[in-house]
Amino acid sequence: MTDTSIDDLEARYLAARDPETAMRTAEELLAARRSELGATHPDTVMTAVAAATWRFHAGDVAAAVQELRALIPTAAAVLGDDDLGTLGARHIVASYPDGTDPSPAQRLAGWLELYADEQRVLGAEHPTTLAARNQVAVLRRELGDRIGARDESAAVVEAQRRVLGESHPDTLTGRFTAAMCLGEASDGAAALAEIKALIPLLAATFGHDHQNTLAARQTSALWSAEDGGDPLDRLSEWEVLVDDLTRALGERHPLTVAADQTRAEQRARWEPDGADGLLAGVVETKRALGQALRADGPNSEAALRCRYDLTQRFLRGLRFDAARPHAESLVRDSAAALGEDHELTSAARRLLSEMP
């Protein structure tokens, strides 16, 4: 077992996308090396870092971060500050701060140091370096440096698109950060359009119930409210979003708590004027749409038919400010997914023509 190379293990199991097997094999190798070489031998420390890293990739995040946090001083002393294992461990631990809750300024200082080290060792456009730079942009935004965050995040996305491609998860995450920074610094309309375009891409890459997708939906709902629109459409969106956040992240998650507070504010401002029945029907249809999106995808006929039903509800309820944008986007998306001559595309066009 001690003749096995960590690099060989990593290449083998990365190709197989089997981090659990990699973790177990690395742990077996670690036990052998501790017995034969001692706990502080470079090969032993390297294997310990690798085992904890594979534990992280296998999904046991809390235990892996705890192991890596304890290993970093030894790894730095034995392997060196510039060792790839040491840098990787620092990057993971920085991404998951412990219960001491360091201030944003302290976290920014830590990420700036890590970004400088990764840039020096890995290069300015290595994916890990770019991920660190994205964290710098996030924290600059959190500290109120809106212009600096906007420019930093825009530079990150430009490099990610070039190095990783448009559909890479890091690129999509970087685009969301950049849109948030852009919206808060200068161009809210362009940022909102970008976030709306990102939501289906995030859902396809991370999943509909992933925190990134839900955060984008929440931001879109918040910023859309600033543009006016139909209050019934807005309130129904928050009703469904809070349900999804509670199911996926739990009722105490910060995103859920914030969304629930906004929903309460929307409810307090809601003037039903006899439209409570319509609101209930719209919420029901939006929930059905969410199920269709999760099961079949945004371009599926099932999802498009739910969108047709939603538009029809708005139209029958004489909520033309809500019905028109839904109909316009439905015509466009149905034509692209099903064809110009499909009966659903034609039906959506008829709905649009019925609006004053």
> Between these two residues, 5 and 151, which has the higher pLDDT value?
151
Please compute the mean of the pLDDT values over residues 71-80 and round it to a whole number: 96
pLDDT at 2: 42
> Per-residue pLDDT for 14 more than 70?
no
Please compute the mean of the pLDDT values over residues 70-79 and round it to a whole number: 96
d(CA 284, CA 337): 24
**Quick check: 344 and 309 in contact, CB under 8 A?**
no
pLDDT at 74: 96
CATH number of 1-99: 1.25.40.10
> Per-residue pLDDT for 243 more than 50?
yes
Look-up: residue for tokens 């060989």?
8
pLDDT at 7: 58
**Quick check: 199 and 220 in contact, CB under 8 A?**
yes
Confidence of residue 203 (pLDDT cuts 50, 70, 90): very high
d(CA 9, CA 13): 6
d(CA 159, CA 161): 5
For residue 97, give Cα distances in angstroms to 38, 52, 102, 113, 172.
30, 16, 8, 15, 23
pLDDT at 228: 66
DSSP state letters, 238-262 = HHHHHHHHHHHH-TTSHHHHHHHHH
> Per-residue pLDDT for 274 more than 50?
yes
Can you give the pTM of this predicted structure? 0.83
pLDDT at 24: 86
Please compute the mean of the pLDDT values over residues 77-91 and round it to a whole number: 94
Confidence of residue 1 (pLDDT cuts 50, 70, 90): very low
> Per-residue pLDDT for 17 more than 80?
no
Range(s) within the chain of domains with CATH label 1.25.40.10: 1-99
> Between these two residues, 307 and 103, which has the higher pLDDT value?
307
d(CA 210, CA 70): 29
d(CA 46, CA 306): 53
Say which residues have a Cβ less than 8 Å from residue 136's Cβ, sequence separation at least 6. 108, 111, 112, 115, 152
The conformation of residue 58, written as its DSSP 8-state character, comes to T
H or E stretch covering 267: helix 254-269
d(CA 159, CA 149): 16
> Per-residue pLDDT for 30 more than 70?
yes
Up-side HSE of residue 213: CA atoms within 13 Å toward CB?
A: 21
Confidence of residue 11 (pLDDT cuts 50, 70, 90): low
The conformation of residue 272, written as its DSSP 8-state character, comes to -
Report residue 35 as tokens: 């017995």
H or E stretch covering 323: helix 320-338
Report residue 50 as tokens: 């690798």
pLDDT tens-digit map of 177-194:
999 999 999 888 999 999
Residue from 343, 324, 323, 322 nearest 334 by CA: 343
pLDDT at 3: 47
**Quick check: 133 and 156 in contact, CB under 8 A?**
yes
pLDDT tens-digit map of 146-182:
999 999 999 999 999 999 999 999 999 999 999 999 9
Please return the burial class of 144, using the count of CB atoms within 10 Å of its CB with bins 0-12, 13-18 and 19+.
exposed
What percent of the chain has pLDDT above 70?
Answer: 94
User: In degrees, to the nearest 5, what angle opens at C-alpha 167 toward C-alphas 166 and 170?
Assistant: 90
> Per-residue pLDDT for 9 more than 80?
no
What percent of the chain has pLDDT above 90?
Answer: 79
